[in-house]
Amino acid sequence: MKTVGIEEIATLGGFKSLSEFIVHAVSQEAHKIEEKHSRILASEKDKKIFFDALMNPPKPNPALKRAFKKYNNAVGTK
């Protein structure tokens, strides 16, 4: 794409100058990259928490024990 083409696009976009358009475009792209990186970090953290819970499950608390007993009484065990 030629500089003239970019200048025309900047004007069509309502930007006062090519520099303003470029700064805007770079800022938008930086924001997208930052959001993607944040999602990746969050998903990695969530994955670690999930697998830690699978590999090292907490001991059942009293409420869970009562619920399990109630379920077994209702359904019966074989």
Question: pLDDT at position 71, please?
Answer: 93
Helix residue ranges per DSSP H, the chain: 3-12, 18-55, 62-75
Give 14's pLDDT tier (boundaries 50, 70, 90): very high
Number of structural domains found in the chain: 1
Q: Check: CB of residue 60 under 8 Å from CB of residue 68.
A: yes
Give 2's pLDDT tier (boundaries 50, 70, 90): low
Domain residue limits at 16: 3-75
Q: Give the rounded distance of the alpha carbon of 5 from its chain centre.
A: 36
Alpha-carbon distance of 43 to 36, in angstroms, equals 11
